Amino acid sequence: MHAEEKLALLLETVCDDCQEWRDVFGLKCLRLFDDVGPTAVRAVAELMASTAENAAKLHGSFLLAHSHQPEAARALTDILDVRQDDEVLEQIFEDSTDSPTMRTHAPFIARARDLSQRWSNSSLDDFLRSLGAAAG
């Protein structure tokens, strides 16, 4: 399968509204996401910034938070600057709590701390607490 075909398959799957998406597609998509590389990061970030479909944003959050590509951490950080529904923000911080990359990405941490001044949410609080637990 060529890179363009892989990217098309990835984006189609990210947009799937399956309730068990993470269990059914999550790890396969993550492997495909990392295989396609920075092009996939840009495409998923653009999709998250432009779509009104929360399912695609929730799935994109999983891919960006759990990828080992440095571009993914930067992209997820930039997503915080785009107006998101509370459900999407919650998922971003839930995914990031489980992500060693996001828990050590200074720009993301700074944006999370800034956001905590304006938005009270248990997922965000858990993420910020996980930083203290990792340091202690």
CATH number of the domain enclosing 8: 1.25.10
Q: Which domain holds residue 82?
A: 3-135
Alpha-carbon distance of 84 to 43, in angstroms, equals 17
Over 70: is that where the pLDDT of 91 sits?
yes
Alpha-carbon distance of 46 to 1, in angstroms, equals 23
Average pLDDT over residues 97-121: 96
CA distances from 136 to 33, 93, 96, 113, 129 (A): 33, 20, 18, 18, 11
Do residues 40 and 76 make contact, with C-beta atoms less than 8 angstroms apart?
Answer: no
pLDDT at 96: 97
Report which of 70, 57, 136 is spatially closest to residue 108, judged by C-alpha positions.
Answer: 70
Q: Model-level pTM? A: 0.91
In degrees, rounded to 5, the angle at the alpha carbon of residue 90 between the alpha carbons of residues 11 and 129 is: 125
Over 50: is that where the pLDDT of 82 sits?
yes
Average pLDDT over residues 42-58: 94
Count structural domains, the chain.
1
